[in-house]
Amino acid sequence: LKDIIPIKFFYLFLLLFFIVSFPVIYICGYTVGVISVFFLLAIISILGFIRYNKKYHFQYSTFVLFVFLFSLITVYFITDNTNEKGKRDRMLKVVNLAAEHDPVAELLLDNIDAKLIADENLAGLLFDPFLNVEEIVDYLQKKYFNGFWSKYDFLITICRQNDSVLIEPIIEWYHCHKFFDDLLQNEGSPLPNSNFYFLDNLNGRISYFGSFEFFSHLDLPEITLFIELNSKLTSEEL
């Protein structure tokens, strides 16, 4: 090889090969790690250097160098594959969890549903001229969503007919009822004989959503109470 191709042309050819290969690999849709390319380039360069320098042929130090490089490559690829497998496993767990139902939660929601609709104290709080959302949250959590429900994040939204709701993180206002109606239509599965829905929103949590309409004896516009329950992540429960 060294008698046919001078060393400078060997390295020039090697450089051009990598320059041309990368766009082709990218266009074909393959992904190549920088570390992988570095190792390949290092090995080919060292092989070329040894081939052009006789004094390094079959030396013990040369053998040790190659063993060291291959050990590094092996450790890198094993570690990289382990990390990738870990990522895939975590993603699979998130997807599986999002598709899971909580039988205990659904049994409790079935019991809560009828009581919420008939709760006159709750209706009084909702139609109070000095509406206090924190007071309503406190009332609901103390009376209905305590104990078992500490495993869930609890959120309510109160809407009248023409109210809008601010959606984060996009920070945009939407018509309240339309937004939640679309949410339930696209992601909700109604629980049997209930105003609660299971949300298949792939957020890595078990989610339930309730929609309850309340009417005033004083001919005031109806009010809808939306209740959202999202199972806490393991780290949040600790």
Same domain as 226, residue 114: yes
Same domain as 232, residue 125: yes
Same domain as 225, residue 112: yes
Q: Could you say which of 99, 115, 134 is where a domain stops?
A: 99
Backbone angles phi, psi at 3, to 5 degrees: -80, -20
Rounded average pLDDT over 191-214: 90
Rounded average pLDDT over 3-31: 63
Going by pLDDT thresholds of 50, 70 and 90, the confidence category of residue 100 is confident
Contact, 153 vs 232, CB < 8 A?
A: yes
CA distances to 31, 39, 89, 98 from 84, rounded to whole Å, are 14, 20, 9, 21
Give the global pTM: 0.58
CA distances to 35, 68, 72, 85, 199 from 75, rounded to whole Å, are 12, 11, 5, 15, 43
Rounded average pLDDT over 146-174: 91
Same domain as 170, residue 154: yes
Same domain as 137, residue 29: no
Same domain as 41, residue 81: yes
Predicted pLDDT of residue 185: 93
Inter-axis angle of helices 7-27 and 34-51, to 10 degrees?
A: 160
Going by pLDDT thresholds of 50, 70 and 90, the confidence category of residue 2 is very low
Number of domains comprising the chain: 2
Return mean pLDDT, the chain. 79
Predicted pLDDT of residue 238: 45
Same domain as 211, residue 161: yes
Same domain as 111, residue 207: yes
Nearest one of 168, 165, 231 to 198, comparing CA atoms:
231
Q: Say if 118 falls within a structural domain.
A: yes
Rounded average pLDDT over 211-235: 88
Q: Could you say which of 74, 99, 124 is where a domain stops?
A: 99
* Separation between Cα atoms, residue 52 and residue 74, nearest integer Å: 27
Q: Which domain holds residue 80?
A: 7-99
Backbone angles phi, psi at 206, to 5 degrees: -90, 120
Q: Say if 2 falls within a structural domain.
A: no
Same domain as 160, residue 88: no
Contact, 128 vs 160, CB < 8 A?
A: no
Predicted pLDDT of residue 178: 94
Same domain as 90, residue 130: no
Digit-coded pLDDT (tens) for 40-72: 667 666 666 666 666 655 565 666 666 676 677
Strand-strand pairing, 172-175 and 188-190: unpaired
Predicted pLDDT of residue 158: 96
Same domain as 107, residue 92: no
Q: Could you say which of 83, 99, 115 is where a domain stops?
A: 99
Burial grade of 227 (CB within 10 A; 0-12, 13-18, 19 or more): buried
* Separation between Cα atoms, residue 7 and residue 47, nearest integer Å: 12
